[in-house]
Amino acid sequence: MIEIISLAVILLILFLAIFWLRKVLFIFGFFFKILVILMLVCIVGSIIAGYFIIKDANDFKDNFQNSTNMILLKQVNTNDNSISFIAGSTLNSEKKEFKSMTKEELQSAEESYKNDTFSTLNKKYYKIFVIELNSFDNITLDKITDKNVELSKEEIKTIILSSNAREDLAKIVSKKTGESKELVLKSITATNEEIKNYLLSYYISTVFNPKDTTKFISQIKNNNIKVYQETALFKLIKLIPTGIIDKLI
């Protein structure tokens, strides 16, 4: 009798074990199927994303140099958080064209920026780069030497922020050379906008250098440069380490 009961218990335990195992296997199989599906979706998604990123990178490589781009320097007023464009240029590397934007052109671009209508400007320019003024502090642009006069980074910012760039430039040069401010002022034929854009060009030549993309990438990652329209490549730059992106570009 005991043997029969023991055998029945063993059979019951075996039956319950098999039933439990089948259930576990079924659940495991279900999750395994979901895992496989998710992996396939990720792989397909990565391939599609990779295609668009590579396509965008090639497009940028081919078109940035031979197209006209707009580069704007933005200032945020600390008192009321108002935004203004204090300098701006259009650049076409292939044609070796670097044109200063007039005060009216800067105001027009500023209005488009505030009204979120940059897309209309993108029809005319391949890319629009909006540079934060603070980005000057994050690059190794220690000084500018021109006509035997050195301008420090702080002096560059002073002139760029000035409401009368010609006057402030003349003051600085006068102190450095000993020449009277009036004579220096007479020798400066450029407008306020042209002076600011001339100084901005040093930043551009330092950061927008195709032989060294690390500075350009790091400025985008730090949101010191914003690109319009922000396509797949520039979104990826913010997500992936600088070294990997640098090699990709």
Q: What is the per-residue pLDDT across 104-138, written as a single tens digit (0 to 9) for each?
A: 888 898 888 888 888 778 788 899 999 888 777 66
Task: Give φ, ψ of 64 to 5 degrees.
Answer: -60, -45
Q: Residues 227, 160: one domain?
A: yes
CB within 8 A of 207, min separation 6: which ones? 135, 139, 215, 216, 219, 225
Give, as one character, the DSSP assignment of residue 132. E
Select from 17, 41, 63 the last residue of a domain.
Answer: 63
**What pLDDT is recorded for position 221?**
84
Asked whether the predicted pLDDT for residue 142 surpasses 60, the reply is no
- Tell me: pLDDT of 239 over 70: yes
Q: Of 112-121, 142-151, 200-209, where does mean pLDDT reach its minimum?
A: 142-151
Q: What is the C-alpha separation between 96 and 9, in angstroms, rounded?
A: 92
Q: In the numeric block, which tokens belong to residue 92? A: 């076409």
Provide the pLDDT for residue 91: 84
Whether residue 156 is found in the same domain as residue 213: yes
* Same domain flag for 37 and 6: yes
**Residues sharing a CB contact under 8 Å with residue 104, sequence separation 6 or more, in sequence order:** none
Are 193 and 113 within one domain?
Answer: yes
What distance in Å separates the CA atoms of residue 170 and residue 186, rounded to the nearest whole number?
A: 9
Range of the domain at 79: 69-248
pLDDT at position 10 over 70 = no
Which residue from 81, 91, 124, 87 is spatially nearest to 107, judged by alpha carbons?
87
Model-level pTM?
Answer: 0.72
Whether residues 88 and 153 fall in one domain: yes
If asked whether residues 95 and 127 sit together in one domain, one would say yes
Tell me: pLDDT of 7 over 50: no
Q: Taking all residues of the chain, what is their mean pLDDT, rounded to a whole number?
A: 77
Section 34-40 average pLDDT? 64
Q: Which residue has the higher pLDDT, 131 or 153?
A: 131
What pLDDT, on the 0 to 100 scale, is given for residue 92?
Answer: 84
73 phi and psi angles, rounded to 5 deg: -105, 120
Angle 212-214-220 from CA coordinates, rounded to 5°: 125
d(C-alpha 168, C-alpha 189), whole Å:
14
Do residues 197 and 93 both lie within one domain? yes
With H, G, I as helix, E, B as strand and everything else as coil, classify residue 45. Answer: helix
**Any residues with CB less than 8 A from the CB of 112 and at least 6 apart, and which?**
118, 120, 121
pLDDT attached to residue 103 = 85
Same domain for 1 and 80, yes or no, is: no
Please tell me the predicted confidence (pLDDT) of residue 1.
46
For 58-72, give one letter per residue: b (16+ CB within 10 A) or e: eebeeebeebbbbbb
Q: Six-digit token pair at 61?
A: 């490589």
**Together in a domain, 164 and 86:** yes
Based on the domain organization, do 50 and 131 belong to the same domain?
no
Checking if the pLDDT of 18 tops 50, the result is: yes
Higher-pLDDT residue of 137, 155? 155
Question: Do 150 and 231 fall within a single domain?
Answer: yes
Domain end residue (candidates: 63, 78, 101): 63
